[in-house]
Chain A
Amino acid sequence: MIIGTIKDGIVIDHIPAGRGMELYRYLNLDRLECEVALIKNAASGKRGKKDIIKLNEVIDLNLDVLGYIDPHITVNIIKNGERVQKMHPALPEEVRDVIKCKNPRCITTVEQELPQVFRLTDRETQTYRCIYCEAKAK
């Protein structure tokens, strides 16, 4: 399968295989006007398979979301067909309005205007907990 190279844009690479669509939704890429390619199960030297997202426009990306999905993801900024920047998102201390608390007893289930905020509580296990009810992010 051939997806054309991009002149100006972003390549989000090394997404864990199968999680590209999740990232697509978290980053609200459906709202973009530009061309977006989601490549699933591309061959990867390190991991066997990976997902890739290509955008033919440089936009402001929420790096926290990428770090939350997997800090091994890389973000390449392409200008005039050349990679001008390569970024590794860090594991964010906090993710806001990305995931929703699944605890049916959480205050966010009745007060839906509250921001959905999860905080990193254990870096080793990459555990995030709801700041209100402390339920684990799933």
Chain B
Amino acid sequence: MKHLIDIIDLSVEEIDELIAVGEDIIAHPADYEEKCRHKKLATLFFEPSTRTRLSFESAMLSLGGDVLGFSEASSSSAAKGESVADTIQTVGCYADIIAMRHPKEGAPVVAVRRSTVPVINAGDGGHNHPTQTLTDLLTIHRELGRLDNMVVGLCGDLKFGRTVHSLIIAMCRYSRVKFVLISPEELRLPEYLREMLDKQGIDYLETQDLEAAMPELDILYMTRVQRERFFNEADYVRLKDSYILTPDKLVNAKESLRILHPLPRVNEISVAVDDDPRAAYFRQVANGKFIRMALILKLLEVK
């Protein structure tokens, strides 16, 4: 029985297989409508997340399965002080597969120890969120037709953004990928990840200038820069607008550039960019459902 806690639990071959199944689902959705008939997915959301939960539920319903679960800890037995391990063991008696989100980091590691059914980590605090990374990978593959040989720009909060960290870890495994890390000094990529890139001899560039970096990029992955992350207000005011993507900043970008964002956005991408064919973030949302369908099939070992 396999679980998914961290993106590195999956080999490159397994990721390629999931992407292939995801693309087949998109091409032939009718072939998958009955694949999980009489199977149940439990969505255990100890912390609310409408987008991820609905994506998982929609994925299972599209496979012909059923869903049950809770959307916040207060409506679960966790509010009475039940441990994660006990909750998981109990739910394993009612469902065939579990997707769980928990505010505490490492909760899924505890969950899988006692689980009798596959567990998918749907986010544990600021730690891992592997299905977002799978979504990003499927999107890049669909948009550019490859996962290697490209320049990936990551912009905004690179320090605290878990989606950025996981995407870098996942994409490091493909050849000839260069990263352009665009962030204010305060929000640089953590040292351990820069060390990892150095050790693996992966090409990367750190800059504060989004517009200067733009012409080189094949992918631009935007994240939100939050005011509370800055040490002083003056720096925030100075830098906040430079990380808001507007149509004029895209003037020198490639036609083949694709813009991704894990969403929800606040103001870091102007709505004026939404109609640009290079804006892929809403297609990315749709891909999130398809890759979760592929993942559910894989973990349930449904052919």
Residue ranges of A at the interface with B (Cβ–Cβ < 8 Å):
103, 105-111, 113-114, 130-135
7 nearest interchain CB pairs?
A: A132-B106, A133-B105, A133-B106, A107-B104, A107-B106, A107-B107, A105-B125
Q: Could you tell me the distance in whole angstroms from the C-beta of B90 to the nearest C-beta in chain A?
A: 16
CA distance A133 to B279 in the complex (A): 34
Q: Could you tell me the distance in whole angstroms from the C-beta of B100 to the nearest C-beta in chain A?
A: 12
- B126 cross-chain contacts in A, Cβ below 8 A: 105
Q: Could you tell me the distance in whole angstroms from the C-beta of A8 to the nearest C-beta in chain B?
A: 42
A-B contact pairs, 15 of them (CB 8 A): A105-B105, A105-B126, A106-B106, A107-B102, A107-B105, A107-B107, A107-B110, A107-B124, A108-B106, A111-B110, A131-B109, A132-B106, A132-B110, A133-B106, A133-B127
Q: Could you tell me the distance in whole angstroms from the C-beta of B279 to the nearest C-beta in chain A?
A: 33
B103, B125, B127: residue with the most chain A Cβ atoms closer than 10 Å: B127
Instruction: Tell me the dominant secondary structure on chain A's binding face.
Output: loop
Q: Could you tell me the distance in whole angstroms from the C-beta of A135 to the nearest C-beta in chain B?
A: 8
Number of residue pairs across A and B with beta carbons under 8 Å? 45
B83 within 8 Å of A by Cβ?
Answer: yes
Q: Could you tell me the distance in whole angstroms from the C-beta of B130 to the nearest C-beta in chain A?
A: 14
Q: Could you tell me the distance in whole angstroms from the C-beta of B190 to the nearest C-beta in chain A?
A: 11
CB closest chain-A residue, reference B104: A107
CA distance A134 to B130 in the complex (A): 15
B99 within 8 Å of A by Cβ?
Answer: no
Q: Could you tell me the distance in whole angstroms from the C-beta of B263 to the nearest C-beta in chain A?
A: 23
B84 within 8 Å of A by Cβ?
Answer: yes
Query: B104 and A130: CB pair below 8 A?
Result: no
Given contacts A106-B105, A107-B110, A134 and B127 within 8 Å (CB-CB) = yes
A130, A132, A135: residue with the most chain B Cβ atoms closer than 10 Å: A132
Q: Which of A103, A109, A113, A132 contacts B109 (CB 8 A)?
A: A132
Query: A111 and B83: CB pair below 8 A?
Result: yes
- A133 cross-chain contacts in B, Cβ below 8 A: 104-106, 124-125, 127
